[in-house]
Amino acid sequence: MIMSIANKNEICVEIKSVAEVFSIANLKIPNYQRPYKWGRKNIRDLFYDIRKAIDDNFDEYRIGSIILHNKDANNFDIVDGQQRLLSLALLYNLIKADNLPVGVSNLLSNDFVEISCQNAKNNYEEWQSLFNLIKDENYKNQIVDYFFNKCKMSVIIIPVEMLSVAFQLFDSQNNRGKALEPHDLLKAYHLRAIDESKQNETMVSNWESFVSDTNFPLKELFDKHLYRIRKWVNGHTGLNKKQYGSELRFSEKFIDDFKGVSLNTEYPYLDLYKALNKNKIEFPISLNMPIIDGQMFFKYIEYSYQLYKDNIENNYSNKYPEHKYIRNINLYNNLFCSFIDRFGKDCAELKEVEEMFFVWAFYPRIIARMLYDSSIANYAAGGEFQRKKGYQKMFQLLSTSTSPRDFISKIDMEILENYTADELESMLSIKNRKDDERSKLDNNELRVIVKKLTNVRGANYGNK
C-alpha cells in the first residue's frame, strides 16, 4: 500500500494504477494549488490516446507521474497531478457514481473556485458525450477497465519533513516544457533558504494566489514596479541592451537583485535585523530595504503586493486611459507608492504631493508625441529626457528626504515649467485633440495612397 512508507525521511516512488491511486482515502488538494484548468480538448486527447493504446494491444499505458506530499499521518497533498487526477475523478463520477472510491469522493468534495467548477462541469459533459458515441457496450466496458486498471502512474511520495522538496518539484513539474519565470526561480531559491521546521503552506498559498491574480499578477509586481524602483532609486535605468535598442524588463539576468543576503552574514548593516530577529520582533518592511533571504523575502513580497494592490487602482492617474498613458501611469504609481511606503498614507501632505507627482509623471507626454521604456527609464533614474538633462531624480530625492515637508521643499517645479495639475490636464486635453486630428489626417492620407495603388494595380492587370 502507498500509505505504508517505512522511512519517513526517504522519497518513495511506486508504479500504481488509477484505481490504486484513488484507493487512498485521504488525498487532498492543498491551498497553494492553482485552479483546475483542463479543458475539453485535454479530455478528448486523453480519451483517444487510451483508445489507441487499446487498439494497438498495449498491456498498459503510462499517464505520467504524480507527486504526493505525506503531510501527516492522515493526509496526502497532491503536489503535482491535480489536473489529471481531477479529470479521472470526473470520469469515475460518470461511470460509478453510486460506488465511488473514497479518494474520488474526497477530491470532488474539495472547495473549488468558480473557474475550476466551470471547467469541471464542461469536462464531465465531455466525458459523457465521448462515451455516448460508443454503441458497443463491451468495447465501452473495455475502455473503462483500461482507464482504471491499465493506466499507470509513477507515484512520487515526499515525506512530511521535506516540504521544500515538494514545493521545488511543484515548480519544476508545473513548468515543464517552458522557461521558468524569474519569480518562479526566486520562489524556489528562497524556499531552500528556510529551515524545514519554519516552512508553512500559507507562504506558498499567498504566492500562488498572487501569481494567478489576472488583475494584478505577481509577474507585473516584479516587472513593472519592484525591479524598476529598486533600480531607479540607485540611479540605474534598469535598461537591458538588445541587438536593436533596449528593453526595461525584469529577466533572469537580474535575478540576483532579489536573492538577497542571509542573516548569518557578518555585515554591520544587518545588525539591526539580527537584533530584531533574535528578540522575535517583526522587521520594518519597506520597498527598498535590503532583501533578506528565506522567510523574510516572502513577507517582503506580501507587503509590496498589498501596498500596490491597495494604491494603484484609485489614485490621481486613473482618470487617463491605460492604453494611451501606460508609461506615465507607471511613473506615477511607482512614485506614489514609494511615497506611501516611506511616509504613510495618512500624512497631511499626500494630496499636495499627489498633484506634483502627476505633473512630474505626465509632463513628458506634453513635450513628446511618443514615449518608450528607455524614455521613462532615463527620465526617472537619470533626470534626462529627449537628451535634455536637469530633470529631478524623484526616486533618489524621496529616498533621502526625512519628512514629507523636506521632500516637498526639494521639488523644483520650475524645471517642469511651473505647471499645476489642472493646467497640465488642460494641455493634455489639447494635445489629445491635436493627436486625434493628426491621426485622422494620417488615415485619410493612407486611404488616398491605398486607392492610388489599387488603381495602378488594376490598370496593370488590365494591360496583361
Per-residue model confidence (pLDDT) at position 239: 94
Indicate the residue among 125, 153, 178 that finishes a domain. 178
User: Do both 72 and 187 map to the same domain?
Assistant: no
Examine the fold and report which residue of 152, 178, 204 is the final residue of a domain before the chain moves on.
Answer: 178
Please determine, for residue 447, whether its predicted confidence score (pLDDT) is greater than 60: no
* Lookup result for grid cell 493634455: 428
What are the residues whose beta carbons fall under 8 Å from the beta carbon of 381, sequence distance 6 or more?
231, 232, 235, 236, 237, 238, 393, 395
pLDDT at res. 189: 83
Any domain includes 417: no
Per-residue confidence (pLDDT) for residue 173, from 0 to 100 = 57
Q: In one letter, which amino acid is 453?
A: L
| 174, 212: one domain | no
- Domain total in the chain: 2
pLDDT bin (cut points 50, 70, 90) of residue 438 is: low
My answer on whether 60 and 127 are in the same domain is yes
Instruction: Identify the pLDDT of residue 5.
Output: 45
Residue 84 lies in a domain: yes
Domain that holds residue 290: 182-311
Instruction: Taking each helix axis as running N to C, give the angle between helix 137-145 and helix 40-55, from 0 to 180 degrees, rounded to the nearest 10.
Output: 100
Q: What is the pLDDT of residues 104-127, one digit of tens each?
A: 998 898 888 888 899 999 999 999
Judge whether 460 lies within some domain.
no
Say whether both 187 and 158 belong to one domain.
no
pLDDT at site 296? 93
Residues 173 and 186 in one domain: no
Range 309-321 burial, b when 16+ CB lie within 10 A, else e: eebbeebbbeebe
Asked, for residue 456, whether it belongs to a domain, the answer is: no
- Please check whether residue 3 lies inside any domain of the structure: no
Q: Are residues 36 and 82 in the same domain?
A: yes
Task: Indicate if 26 and 158 belong to the same structural domain.
Answer: yes
Q: What is the pLDDT of residue 367?
A: 87
Burial category of 125 from C-beta neighbours within 10 Å (exposed 0-12, middle 13-18, buried 19 and up): middle
pLDDT on residue 170: 61
46-97 pLDDT per residue, tens? 999 999 999 999 999 999 889 888 877 678 888 888 899 999 999 999 998 8
114 and 263: one domain? no
Give how far the C-alpha of residue 140 lies from the chain's centroid of Cα atoms, to the nearest Å. Answer: 42
Domain membership flag for residue 412: no
* Model pLDDT, residue 464: 44
Non-local CB neighbours of 458 within 8 Å, separated by 6+ positions: none
133, pLDDT greater than 50:
yes
Instruction: Out of 132, 156, 178, pick the residue that ends a domain.
Output: 178
Question: Alpha carbon of 315 to those of 216, 235, 333, 343: distances in Å?
Answer: 16, 26, 8, 17
Same domain, 43 and 191: no
- What is the reported pLDDT for 141? 93
% of the chain exceeding 90 in pLDDT: 55
Q: Same structural domain for residues 79 and 208? A: no
Q: How confident is the model at residue 385 (pLDDT cuts 50, 70, 90)?
A: very high
pLDDT of 321 higher than 80: no
Least confident segment among 20-29, 219-228, 337-346: 20-29
Reported as a single tens digit per residue, the pLDDT across 262-305 is 998 899 999 999 999 999 999 899 999 999 999 999 999 999 99
> Do 238 and 95 have their domain in common?
no
Q: Which of the four pLDDT bands, split at 50, 70 and 90, describes residue 439?
A: low
**Residue 209 maps to a domain:** yes
Residues 191, 170, single domain; the answer is no
pLDDT tens per residue, range 134-190: 999 999 999 999 999 999 999 988 886 676 666 666 656 555 545 568 998 898 788
pLDDT at 451: 56
pLDDT at position 87:
95
Residue 448: per-residue pLDDT: 58
Residue 414 included in any domain: no
